[in-house]
A = this chain, B = another copy of it.
Amino acid sequence: MKKLAVGIDIGGINTAFGLVDEQGEVYAESVISTRKYPLLADYPTYVNDLSEALHTLLESLTFEYELVGIGIGAPNANIYSGMIEQPANLWKFSEEETNRDEQRRFFPLADDLSKAFGGVKTLITNDANAATIGEMVYGNAKGMKDFIMITLGTGLGSGFVSNGQMIYGHDGFAGEFGHVIVERDGRACGCGRKGCLEAYVSATGIKRTAFELMATMHERSKLREIPFSEFDSAMISAAAEEGDPIAKECFRITGERLGRALADAVTVTSPEAIFLFGGLAKAGKWIFEPTAHYMEENMMFAYKNKVKLLPSGIQGKNAAILGASALIWQANA
């Protein structure tokens, strides 16, 4: 009988989910809106609707299967507690809510979904950790015991694997490498502090760099035609391909920041490889070349020319679902 795991990827806008086997083949997938359930009071309905959609998806299968478990990737998710803990953009207090006790915003999603599926093993962690385990189970980190995953989306997420195990840390929140401070009193970061790596290296960060360079450089650039509010990081790759000087400098600076930070990260865990994943990683050589260059330039001699900088092997539309489902296969390995 085919063994399947559910993989669920919860984003602020949509919740995508799929049925995945141990080789990473996706047999069925679907999506519900997350945004339709914005408030604390909406959470029970969200769980209910998500369970129903999952049951429907499972019933669509035309072969016999065994459901081995449910893996979930979600912001602020804690693998130890099984909860989504005080997420910034999910299930918020309504305007009318008077009891704004943040302790009420711990959502036991792993338990709630497990109950809806007869007590099946259900694991939850943040999306960067899920991507990391996905890389280990299905991707280019197969067989590696020590590696670092960097996910470059709206923010910069990370996952560290040592001795073949995910580093979750004492409280489940390890691997927030986007929040090392790389510039004292630097750019404002969403976390409330200043100068965090993700304020420079992420889809948002590189966009901010582009606008900084439009101020400091005088070269002509097509990027100058696009207002900030309509700008996205893919436009910088496209412009770089056409030789745009601002776009090219944008990637050099971004790679410099990332490469320096990775040279520091290597001193902690001494990985075999570092993977880049996510939208900005799709810029290919534009981001890989300067990152590798500055990483090596700043590397301590003991690590020089030893650490591979590689693209993720599970890029693509299903990557987040795959990553989430991998939680189950890794736990059973």
Partner of A180, one of B165, B171, B174, B267: B267
The secondary-structure label for the interface of chain A is loop
- A248 contacts the other chain (Cβ, under 8 Å)? no
Partner of A269, one of B181, B191, B192, B268: B268
Partner of A270, one of B162, B165, B169: B169
Q: How many residues of A contact B (CB 8 A)?
A: 40
- A43 contacts the other chain (Cβ, under 8 Å)? no
- A188 contacts the other chain (Cβ, under 8 Å)? no
Contact B193 A300 (CB under 8 A): yes
Neighbouring B residues of A145 by C-beta, 8 Å: 170
- A176 contacts the other chain (Cβ, under 8 Å)? yes
Cα of A191 to Cα of B263 in the assembled complex, Å: 14
Given the interface pairs A173-B302, A300-B179, A301-B192, the reply to whether A268 lies near B270 with Cβ below 8 Å is no
Neighbouring B residues of A306 by C-beta, 8 Å: 170-171
Given the interface pairs A191-B300, A264-B180, the reply to whether A271 lies near B162 with Cβ below 8 Å is no
Cα of A306 to Cα of B163 in the assembled complex, Å: 25
Contact B270 A160 (CB under 8 A): no
Neighbouring B residues of A263 by C-beta, 8 Å: 181
Neighbouring B residues of A267 by C-beta, 8 Å: 174-177, 179-180
Neighbouring B residues of A268 by C-beta, 8 Å: 160, 167, 174-175, 177, 265, 268-269
Contact B167 A162 (CB under 8 A): yes
**Residues of A310-324 contacting chain B, CB below 8 A:** none
Contact A260 B181 (CB under 8 A): yes
**Residues of A176-200 contacting chain B, CB below 8 A:** 176-177, 179-181, 191-193
Given the interface pairs A169-B270, A176-B267, the reply to whether A163 lies near B160 with Cβ below 8 Å is no
List 22 A–B pairs whose Cβ atoms lie within 8 Å, in order of A's numbering: A146-B174, A160-B269, A162-B163, A162-B169, A162-B174, A167-B268, A169-B271, A170-B270, A171-B303, A173-B270, A173-B302, A173-B303, A174-B268, A174-B269, A175-B267, A177-B267, A177-B268, A179-B300, A180-B267, A181-B298, A191-B301, A193-B298
Chain A interface residues toward B at CB < 8 A:
145-146, 160, 162-163, 165, 167-177, 179-181, 191-193, 260, 263-265, 267-272, 298, 300-303, 306-307
Give the 5 A-B residue pairs with the shortest CB-CB distance, closest first. Answer: A169-B270, A174-B270, A170-B272, A180-B264, A146-B170
